[in-house]
A = this chain, B = another copy of it.
Amino acid sequence: METEDYRVNGFIVSATVAGLKKGGVPDMALIVSEKESAAAGVFTTNKVKAAPVLLSKKHIRNGKARAIVANAGNANACTGEGGLQDAIFTAELVARGLGIESDQVLVASTGVIGQRLKMSLMEPAVEALVKGLSPDGLPQAAKAIMTTDSFPKISRFEGRAGGTPYRIVGFAKGAGMIMPNMATMLCFVLSDIRISAGDMETELRTCVDATFNRITVDGDTSTNDMVLMLASGFAENDPLTEYDRATFSEGLKSVLWDLSKMIVRDGEGATKLVSVEVKNAFSLADAGIAARTVANSSLVKTAIYGQDPNWGRILAALGRANIEMKEDRVNIWIDDVQIVSGGLGLGAAQENKAKEIMKGKEFALVIDLGQGAFDDRVLTCDLTHEYISINADYRS
């Protein structure tokens, strides 16, 4: 798509090279709302919260914001009181550059944990960011927030509220430390819709739960995860009807689900995107636990990498998931090829068909527990040699 396809009325965006990432690549981004936006956020559930998470939670409390400043290369996590001061100072720099209040600035960071930000780099970087602001800057910003991501992740939705067109554009970064319960590390969503901050937060929470909280790369929840959404109101739509609200919610969910899939597809070292779909669980909680346990099992994930329909590992994972289950009620499919019926393998012919499907890049692993009427699904990827290489050498 062209860069203008990612314009959102009321917002200007920029990116720059601050010097926080290696190799002189863009590593800072700035999003500015021309007027005050409605703002909502969803933040990591990890008890260790990075400084920018603590600060942005505070600044977003009133449901309003003017800017988001984000950096990659340094998470500003586990940096104590000094790190919090660094985040505050970054917000102040941005506020000064834009002539706004610093509590109108949200801050986000991603990268290595436990190192202080080089604040000497921040002043020139923020200056460059403010100078570079443009309606067409979003694709560059999506690149700037990448760490071990291999491609930028952007998604768009075009909707109408009472006949008035509006747009939702989201971008995210993921790759590692990805696990259900606020798992994106960073995602920013912009819209020109006119909506109250409270309504937007309700929709954002629902949509995040259905999307980002349903993906896993390695079962590790980050200290920095956040989804921030700003709505400028520039679409000047009338107050949302129930129908408009539903359309908006579906549109937002489609954008976040799209980004979720991109994050798993780009999981560190991943070669395959697998939807683990659990059906007919005893309870909704059981469905979620079963899907997450299978989706996080190292043995299942290595079997996926090996294109091996090793259903014994799936049954073993279900058996330790602490859910209601009876081995002889379980049916398992790879896409539409059934490989287990009543807890027993259906033999080599079916497994060979399943292997063919597993050679592809995307497929579903469908588990029917036969215990009740509850379904859930989680997106996962395979566990590969490349994951080990990336994570054994991350800081060196």
Query: Which residues of A pack against B, CB within 8 Å?
Result: 45-49, 75, 77-80, 112-115, 176-177, 179, 181, 218-223, 297-299, 302-303, 305-306, 308, 310-313, 315-320, 325, 327-328, 342-345, 383-385, 387-389, 391-396
Which residue of B176, B221, B308, B345 is within 8 Å of A396 (Cβ)?
A: B308
Nearest-Cβ distance from residue A232 to partner chain B, whole angstroms: 34
Partner of A383, one of B305, B310, B311, B388: B388
Which residue of B is nearest A318, CB measured? B48
Could you tell me the distance between the alpha carbons of A315 and B393 in the complex, rounded to whole angstroms?
Answer: 19
Report the nearest B residue to A179, measured CB to CB.
B320
A115 touching B320 in the complex, CB below 8 Å, given contacts A78-B312, A298-B219: no
Contacts of A49 in B (CB 8 A): 319
- Residues in B whose Cβ lies below 8 Å from that of A113: 310, 312-313, 315-316
| Chain A to chain B contacts (Cβ below 8 Å), 16 pairs | A48-B316, A48-B327, A49-B319, A78-B311, A78-B312, A79-B344, A113-B315, A114-B310, A114-B311, A114-B344, A181-B320, A220-B317, A299-B391, A302-B387, A303-B392, A308-B395
In the complex, what residues of B have CB within 8 A of residue A220's CB?
A: 297-299, 313, 316-317, 320
Nearest opposing residue in chain B for A296, CB measure = B219
B344 and A308 contacting across the interface, CB-CB below 8 Å: no
Residues of B within 8 A of A306 (CB): 391-396
Chain B residue, CB-CB nearest to A316: B223
Across-interface contacts of A395 in B (CB, < 8 A): 306, 308, 310
Contact at B305–A388, with CB atoms within 8 Å?
Answer: yes
- Give the secondary structure class of A's interface: loop
Among B47, B384, B389, B396, point to the contact of A327 (Cβ < 8 A): B47
| A223-B315 contact in complex given A114-B345, A384-B388, A391-B302, C-beta closer than 8 Å | yes
Cα separation A352 to B1 with both chains bound (whole Å): 47
Q: How far is the CA of A325 from the CA of B299 in the complex (A)?
A: 30
- Of all chain B residues, the one with the shortest Cβ separation from A344 is B80
Q: Are B393 and A316 in contact (CB under 8 A)?
A: no
Is A308's CB under 8 angstroms from B392's CB?
yes
A2 to chain B, nearest CB (A): 38
CB atoms of A345 and B312 under 8 A apart? no
Which residues of the partner chain B approach A80 to less than 8 Å between Cβ atoms?
Answer: 328, 342-344
Give, as a whole number of angstroms, the nearest-CB distance from A47 to chain B: 4
Q: How far is the CA of A325 from the CA of B223 in the complex (A)?
A: 14
User: Which of the listed residues A77, A80, A311, A313 has the most CB atoms from chain B within 10 Å of its own CB?
Assistant: A313
> Given known contacts A47-B318, A220-B297, what 6 new A-B pairs fall within 8 Å (CB)?
A45-B320, A80-B342, A114-B312, A219-B298, A220-B320, A308-B396
A383 proximity list for chain B (CB < 8 A): 298, 388
* The residue from B112, B179, B311, B316 contacting A312, defined by CB atoms under 8 A apart: B112
